[in-house]
Structure 1
Amino acid sequence: MPSPEARATGLRTWAAFTAMCLGMFMAILDVQIVATSLPEMQRALGISPDRMSWVQTAYLIAEVIAIPLTGALMRILTMRGLFALTTSLFTLASIGCAASESFGPLVAWRVLQGFAGGTLIPAVFAAVFLLFPVHRQGLATTLAGVLAVLAPTVGPVVGGWITESWSWHWLFLINVAPGVLAVGIGATLLPRERLRLAEARQLDLAALGLLALSLAALEIALKEAPGRGWTSGLVLALLALWAAAGAGFVRRCLSGPRPVVELRAFADRRFALACVLSFVLGIGLFGSVYLMPVFLSFVRGHGPLEIGTIMLVTGVAQLLTAPLAVAAEQRLGARLLTGFGFALFAAGLALSSFQTPRTDHDEMFWPQVVRGVAIMFCLLPPTRLALGHLSEARVADASGLFNLMRNLGGAIGLALIDTVIFSRSAGHGESLLTRLTARDLEAARFVGVPEAMLASLPPGPVPPQAQAMLAPLLEKAALTQAINEAWGMIALLTLAALLCVPFARPSRGQDRAAPVTPPRASPRRSPTPRRR
């Protein structure tokens, strides 16, 4: 196998890596564009509203199970084999989803699609450190990072355009051509290694089953908790199942000679703290991409395409910041850039916590710009903190865990956000009505009640007829206040994550990763990361 320096300077390596990034981009984009068209799919297939959300949940459960398995699958199938197989399965499953005519087949294909797509993100970020020397890893990470965070941003635009212009089938069929192209390029240009299928017989199937059970129970509990309540019997049972299965999985992984997932990576302080940062970043990333459409749809009444157009600001800011992030990463320490990124991201989240029911594109512009600039500094340097000092033999497993933390953070963050919105909206509505009864001008301006109308009301409680007229305004104002509290919550969590940064300094002797000779590969010297 050629040295990393030789591979990184060749067009073949960059073309192969770009193909991997394309597959990852389509997998992430798929989640977003499908979400925009769920109502149309529900009507077309005759699916009941209470079951429709499983089209997304099935994908996310399979995805979160696949992510930590990426390391083991990459050892067995090699990077080239894993990418070619999972991208082919993702493309095939996309065709199956488009051809589905009922709920059952659609969910089954979504499970396969989610499992295949779940391996692509950690595989891409592992490839950064396995294919490129240190001086090229910043650029490679930025390419992958831009596409990873750009997909959720442009997803509403693409999904809205497809929904309004074509049929829902094209939400899946648009994956076919890029998928075939990515497989063809990746299978041709990625480094060729011998398959190690014998290692598959050493997999701990019991641990694998416990992992799947634990993560599935957690995802379903997080989905049901906001609506049913965190203390409902079903949610508590699911959380207990998650804890029990998770404990059994951890025990088997720590005691077995060949664990399914290498949990001992968390003993590395820099990696563990970087995973905490990844977890919190997931809350902010998933939360911001969720809160903006909720506000723009239910408060402002915008359609999918208009919502996507407004949200493009974040993506443009990310693209424009990417070259700056690469240059800064090559000159400054990862901890300094991580602290800057998370502080700026927290500020961008906090700026959105002062919305009114009349907030729209102009008021949302600068908070989006701040978040878009910050995202690249929240993604690239922490990835370096997590994986840059590890030996090549550990990168694939560590990348799976690192990316799993971001997805789990997103799942838990969305559950917390929904809980805030479900539990706080009604109280805010009652409080605003009480303030209007007291003729509070500030409350009237926030709700959007003209002062002349407020002055014309008779003394005492607001009459029932006037309450009926004010109900839509009060509902939107109360929802806005609850959304503002959710923005504030994730801003505080992001700010709290800064406490991890000072402790993520290298341990003695940790600046240099031990050279590793991969199995069945010619010996080569592992690249040495720069001191951080």
Structure 2
Amino acid sequence: MPQHRQPASLHAPSAMVWVGFIAMCTGMFMAILDVQVVATSLPTIQQGIDIDPDKMSWIQTAYLIAEVVAIPLTGLLTRVLTMRWLFIVSILLFVVASAGCAASGTFSTLVSWRVLQGFSGGTLIPAVFSAVFVLFPNERQAIATTIAGVLAVLAPTIGPIIGGWLTSTYSWHWLFLINIIPGLVSALVAWRCLPRHKADLGELKSLDLVSLVMLAISLASLELGLKEAPTAGWTSSFVAGLLVASLVSGAGFTVRSLRRKRPIVDLGHFRDRNFLIGSALSFVLGIGLFGSVYLMPVFLAFIRGQNALEIGWTMLVTGITQLIAAPIAVYLEKRTDPRLLSAVGFFLFALGLGMSAFENPRSGYDAMFWPQVVRGAAIMFCLLPPTRLALGTLPPDQVPDASGLFNLMRNLGGAIGIAMIDTIIYTRSEPLTQLLWDRLRAGDQAAAAFVGAPADEVVGHGGTFTPDTVAALDPLVQTAASVQAINEAWMIAAVLTTCALLILPFAKPVEAPR
């Protein structure tokens, strides 16, 4: 694949450019962190403004739907506003929305502000990753991608610690108030330091509103359908209707986009083999990354009974390992074929996921330590090389659009992965409970040990238990069955992550930056 020459001005990025880029990374970090700190403190928010329990999840869903709609629009918004002004406007809106969330006294007000917060935050991640290839020459892109990547995956790792500490020490309002000062500082620094280009408001004249509506309906319906499917059932009329609406709207959007000279989102990027493969890797990474960050709190909270702060300290192992591995990843990324590094990264990440598939109801920090170390060491190798495969050979004017699609694929992978995990936990727990009872009635000592039941209560009962024994064992069996379902979810995530190795051989060689 031909290497596109970058503007000469990019061959010596000044300290001002680096400072401006770090300001962008800070804004992105706050947007990602916001999702996690709010997720871990939803019960506190629910009690604070008296939200019905069945509506509580909408605090997160409203944000995520708005975010996933905004991500692919980043290219269009960059062309209209320029990268500098897109970031400034987005982070200021994020700050305003955060203040609105903190001041909310009703459910409807909070959800409304969360929509604005999600939409403004959704543009920040692809904007940062496109800035890597627009602001910096090849030899500096690995360092820039590492800075962005470390912050992008560190935020959900430390989120439970920050969220738990804020809610226990202060109040839930501070989950949102912490965004204000860093956001304002980031906007000011970006205004001062990022390169200045002329906005092109004329782009709005060619805006295809029909395509925009189709895109929004498709992504919002898919996100909502994936959220509801595990509990309502994949074949329920509500979920089926949402998924059909997503498919029909998505097909209509695709047809219109491929026929227009200036589409909202240029799907033609998928004709580039390396971009297609890089995006597929991003999708697979989303399944494993979002899935692992979701499964660990589920296990620690519902099985081990830990609070948000305790969960955060346990999960910090991944973040620390990732920070240690980051300079190694940068060094190798400059000298090694990205296809080989991606293969190593996804193999290790799948291994780390699979290592978590052997937990028992008493597993704690020690049992989770080495799986987290393996995953933490692998993350940067699953992020840096695929980003270069997807975006590294595109001309700078195509990067913002392509970055939106690339990051959208990771979010969609995460949404589908979490829906898959929830489905496994909901549907497998009951049959696994029955299977454990059958094994206990048969006197299976391994099953008794896994459940945590005293051996003398299981062996020698001839397949029958007294009502008192059943009552004593039932909570243990229910918990053990949930653990087995969680283990199955870990293993399936590991298998799906391994699939990345099957598509890597089809990527074309990409010259490593020197």
The residue that corresponds to 1:472 in the other structure is 475
Q: CA deviation at 1:458?
A: 3.4
The separation in 1 between residues aligned to 2:334 and 2:220, in whole angstroms, is 40
The separation in 1 between residues aligned to 2:196 and 2:85, in whole angstroms, is 9
The residue that corresponds to 2:100 in the other structure is 96
Task: Report the residue type matching 2:235 in the other structure.
Answer: T
Q: Are residue 381 (structure 1) and residue 351 (structure 2) matched? A: no
Q: Report the 3-state secondary structure (helix = DSSP H, G, I; strand = E; otherwise coil) of the residue aligned with 2:499.
A: helix
Q: CA deviation at 1:166?
A: 1.0
Aligned mate of 1:166, from 159, 166, 170: 170
Aligned mate of 1:68, from 48, 62, 72: 72
The separation in 2 between residues aligned to 1:336 and 1:147, in whole angstroms, is 24
Q: Report the 3-state secondary structure (helix = DSSP H, G, I; strand = E; otherwise coil) of the residue aligned with 1:3.
A: helix
Task: Report the residue type matching 1:450 in the other structure.
Answer: P
Task: Report the residue type matching 2:400 in the other structure.
Answer: A
The separation in 1 between residues aligned to 2:457 and 2:272, in whole angstroms, is 64
Task: Report the residue type matching 2:65 in the other structure.
Answer: I
Q: CA deviation at 1:466?
A: 1.1
The residue that corresponds to 1:3 in the other structure is 9
The residue that corresponds to 1:523 in the other structure is none
Q: CA deviation at 1:531?
A: 7.7
Aligned mate of 2:362, from 358, 368, 371: 358
TM-score by length of 2: 0.97
Task: Report the residue type matching 1:473 in the other structure.
Answer: L
Q: Report the 3-state secondary structure (helix = DSSP H, G, I; strand = E; otherwise coil) of the residue aligned with 1:390.
A: coil
Q: Which runs of 5+ in 2 are unaligned?
A: 1-6
1:84-483 alignment runs, 5 A limit: 84-455=88-459, 458-483=461-486
Q: CA deviation at 1:2?
A: 7.0
The separation in 1 between residues aligned to 2:17 and 2:461, in whole angstroms, is 76
The separation in 2 between residues aligned to 1:110 and 1:531, in whole angstroms, is 40
Q: CA deviation at 1:201?
A: 1.4
TM-score by length of 1: 0.94
Hey, which bits of structure 1, 4+ residues long, moved more than 6 A? none
> How many residues matched?
508
Q: Report the 3-state secondary structure (helix = DSSP H, G, I; strand = E; otherwise coil) of the residue aligned with 2:360.
A: coil
Q: Are residue 504 (structure 1) and residue 492 (structure 2) matched? A: no
The separation in 2 between residues aligned to 1:13 and 1:387, in whole angstroms, is 20
Fraction of identical pairs, as percent: 60
Task: Report the residue type matching 1:405 in the other structure.
Answer: M
The separation in 1 between residues aligned to 2:456 and 2:475, in whole angstroms, is 19
Q: CA deviation at 1:530?
A: 4.0
Task: Report the residue type matching 1:129 in the other structure.
Answer: F
The separation in 1 between residues aligned to 2:512 and 2:451, in whole angstroms, is 55
Task: Report the residue type matching 1:137 in the other structure.
Answer: Q
The separation in 2 between residues aligned to 1:228 and 1:463, in whole angstroms, is 36
Q: Report the 3-state secondary structure (helix = DSSP H, G, I; strand = E; otherwise coil) of the residue aligned with 1:261.
A: coil
The separation in 2 between residues aligned to 1:106 and 1:361, in whole angstroms, is 35
Checking the alignment, whether the CA contact within 8 Å between 2:443 and 2:463 is kept in structure 1 is: no
RMSD: 1.2
Deviations 1:48-71, CA, capped at 9 Å, x for gaps? 011110000000000000000000
The separation in 2 between residues aligned to 1:32 and 1:345, in whole angstroms, is 21
Q: Are residue 80 (structure 1) and residue 84 (structure 2) matched? A: yes
Aligned mate of 1:494, from 483, 492, 497: 497
